[in-house]
């Protein structure tokens, strides 16, 4: 989910980037409040989509991808510029592990017993089947191989939303390795921009070529076919992009931000998932490109009207818990179904959103922030030992939860029409 990598303090104005190719990109500058708000908008759209109120809300995940590519690449380029092209991969991956894995482990460990206690036999069986792939950050490829139709079968799998976390984790593994090779010398920014642009176009070509008119799950969840969103965000963090945006001036960048927000919002309203085939023929690519341009403009003009709205307290605070909120919302949605609550519609949505936010806040302040910012044991060798111990404990939990017996009362009706 979203990468939150910058310091916590907010600034109303971001210094204009230097024209030197070796200077760090704008994303490496002090924290930009509107980007937190952009995360808040993205996670709100996803929540409303899964609650059945916003058909185009699934595009919030695409916005997350672009933001992640932008922020992570900015940090890596800053490190490369400061270290003459050197990037400490072990340290980078350690930071990513402390940021992402504790919340994921807490959610999986908390969800499995809840599903066992309150879920249907099909939900329990699928949760046990999917858990190892979730922990290995390969959930998206597992779902593709299992032929799980994202648009019509996700409500039988409590971890189905974690395909996007797997895509981001795979990007965090391989993209830094590539930057070690190309982010060197005075033309590091240009080299990275060329690689990112080339990779994004190749990813788009794969999506167009592999799209299945009957089931788009392969191109929707595949790392190769969704990489263009992350790579377009990465390209926006390079020196050529920041120099181009710097020439706009804050006033013009602010107006462009407004136009882009209106365009992206209109596209979200019009898009309708698998019933919008143009999404997979270039529409999603153009959406990601618009999101990358919006991020560039917000870094140039954070005090613009759009920047002030996105940087306001409600959206910014929602953005700060967006990762854990994304992790928890789907299990909550499935466990607090209409039958259990006894009502539906916006009333049910209000309850499950409130419960999801409560779980996200507890995760952030009791698990994520202590490990990420204060726990010395989470670093170095003790951190590695703790990570292995956590995986062992999760494996033990997975092993002790009994799988439901097959029988007339536990038939998974979603499999009756398979094939």
pLDDT of residue 382: 82
User: Given a cut of 60, is residue 23 above it in pLDDT?
Assistant: no
Give the separation between CA 274 and CA 209, rounded to whole angstroms: 16
pLDDT tens digit string along 306-318? 999 999 999 999 9
pLDDT above 80 for 21: no
Is the Cα dihedral 400, 406, 408, 414 positive or negative? Answer: positive
Return the pLDDT at 413.
42
List alpha helices for 247-344, DSSP H: 250-270, 283-300, 305-310, 313-320, 322-335, 338-341
User: Among candidates 323, 377, 415, 394, which has minimal Cα distance to 128?
Assistant: 394
For 221, list phi and psi in degrees, rounded to 5: -110, -10
Decide if pLDDT at 415 tops 70.
Answer: no
Spatial distance between the Cα atoms of 63 and 42, rounded to a whole number of angstroms: 6
The pLDDT, as a whole number, for residue 117 is: 92
Q: How many CA atoms lie within 13 A of 33 on its CB side?
A: 21
Between residues 292 and 407, the one the model is more confident about: 292
Q: State the pLDDT at residue 75.
A: 93
What would the pLDDT profile of 42-54 be if each residue is shown by its tens digit? 999 999 999 999 9
Q: Provide mean pLDDT across the span 286-301.
A: 96
Helical H segments across 51-156, by residue range: 59-82, 89-118, 121-135, 139-145, 150-153
CA distances in angstroms from 366 to 95, 96, 413, listed in the order given: 18, 18, 39
* Gap between the Cα atoms of 250 and 256, Å rounded: 10
Residue 384 reports pLDDT greater than 90: no
pLDDT band at residue 406 using 50, 70 and 90 as cut-offs: low
Confidence of residue 416 (pLDDT cuts 50, 70, 90): very low
Question: 10 Å Cβ neighbour count for 399?
Answer: 9
**Residue 60: per-residue pLDDT:** 96
Check pLDDT > 70 for residue 399. Answer: yes
- Give the pLDDT of residue 213: 80
Give Cβ neighbours of residue 265 (< 8 Å, ≥ 6 apart).
none
- Report pLDDT for 411: 46
Between CA 356 and CA 26, with CA 288 as vertex, the angle to 5 degrees is 90
Q: What are the start-end ranges of the H helices in 13-58?
A: 33-50
Kindly state the percentage of the chain with pLDDT values over 70.
89
Count other Cβ atoms within 10 Å, centred on residue 299: 27
> Is it the case that residue 169 has pLDDT exceeding 90?
yes
pLDDT over 80 (residue 376): no
The pLDDT of residue 7 is above 60 = no
Give 93 or 376, the one with higher predicted confidence. 93
State the pLDDT at residue 176. 95
- The pLDDT > 90 percentage for the chain reads 63
Q: Say how many C-beta atoms besides its own lie within 10 A of residue 312's C-beta.
A: 14
pLDDT digits (tens, 9 = 90+) for 72-106: 999 999 998 887 778 999 989 988 988 999 999 99
- pLDDT one-digit tens code per residue, 206-218: 999 998 888 888 9
Burial class (CB in 10 A: 0-12, 13-18, 19+), 235: buried
Whether the per-residue pLDDT at 417 is higher than 90: the answer is no
Q: How far is CA 243 from CA 19, 25, 210, 285, 412, in A?
A: 6, 9, 36, 23, 56
Task: Give the closest residue to 90 by CA, choosing from 177, 212, 198.
Answer: 177
Cβ-Cβ contacts under 8 Å for 407 (sequence gap 6 or more): none
pLDDT reported for residue 17 = 37
Q: How far from 298 is each of 16, 225, 249, 267, 394, CA to CA, in Å?
A: 12, 27, 12, 20, 41
Q: What is the mean pLDDT of the chain?
A: 86
């Amino acid at each position: 989910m979203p990468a939150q990598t910058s310091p916590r303090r907010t600034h109303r104005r971001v210094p204009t980037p230097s024209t030197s190719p070796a200077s760090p990109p704008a994303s490496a500058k002090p924290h930009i409040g509107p980007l937190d708000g952009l995360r808040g908008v993205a996670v709100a759209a996803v929540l409303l989509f899964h609650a059945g109120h916003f058909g185009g809300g699934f595009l919030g995940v695409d916005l997350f991808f672009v933001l992640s590519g932008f922020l992570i690449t900015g940090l890596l380029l800053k490190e490369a510029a400061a270290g003459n092209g050197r990037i400490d991969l072990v340290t980078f991956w350690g930071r990513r592990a402390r940021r992402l894995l504790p919340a994921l482990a807490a959610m999986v460990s908390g969800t499995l017993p809840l599903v066992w206690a309150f879920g249907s036999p099909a939900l329990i069986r699928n949760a046990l089947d999917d858990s190892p792939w979730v922990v290995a950050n390969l959930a998206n490829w597992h779902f593709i191989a299992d032929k799980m139709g994202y648009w019509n079968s996700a409500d039988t799998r409590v971890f189905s939303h974690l395909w996007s976390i797997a895509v981001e984790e795979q990007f965090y593994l391989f993209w830094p390795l590539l930057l070690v090779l190309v982010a060197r010398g005075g033309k590091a920014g240009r080299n990275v921009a060329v690689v990112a642009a080339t990779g994004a176009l190749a990813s788009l070509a794969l999506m167009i070529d592999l799209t299945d008119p009957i089931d788009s799950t392969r191109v929707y969840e595949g790392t190769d076919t969704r990489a263009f969103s992350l790579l377009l965000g990465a390209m926006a963090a390079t020196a050529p992009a920041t120099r181009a945006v710097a020439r706009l001036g804050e006033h013009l960048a602010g107006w462009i931000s407004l136009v882009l927000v209106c365009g992206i919002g209109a596209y979200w309203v019009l898009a309708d998932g698998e019933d919008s085939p143009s999404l997979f023929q270039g529409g999603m690519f153009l959406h990601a490109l618009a999101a990358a341009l919006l991020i560039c403009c917000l870094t140039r003009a954070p005090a613009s009207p759009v920047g002030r709205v996105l940087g306001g307290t409600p959206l910014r605070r929602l953005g700060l818990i967006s990762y854990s909120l994304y992790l928890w919302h789907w299990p909550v949605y499935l466990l607090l179904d209409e039958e259990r609550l006894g009502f539906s519609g916006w009333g049910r949505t209000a309850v499950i959103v409130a419960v999801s936010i409560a779980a996200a806040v507890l995760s952030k302040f009791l698990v994520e922030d202590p490990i990420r910012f204060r726990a010395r044991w989470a670093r170095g060798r003790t951190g590695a030992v703790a990570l292995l111990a956590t995986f062992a404990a999760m494996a033990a939990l997975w092993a002790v939860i009994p799988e439901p017996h097959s029988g007339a009362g536990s038939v998974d009706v979603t499999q009756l029409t398979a094939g």
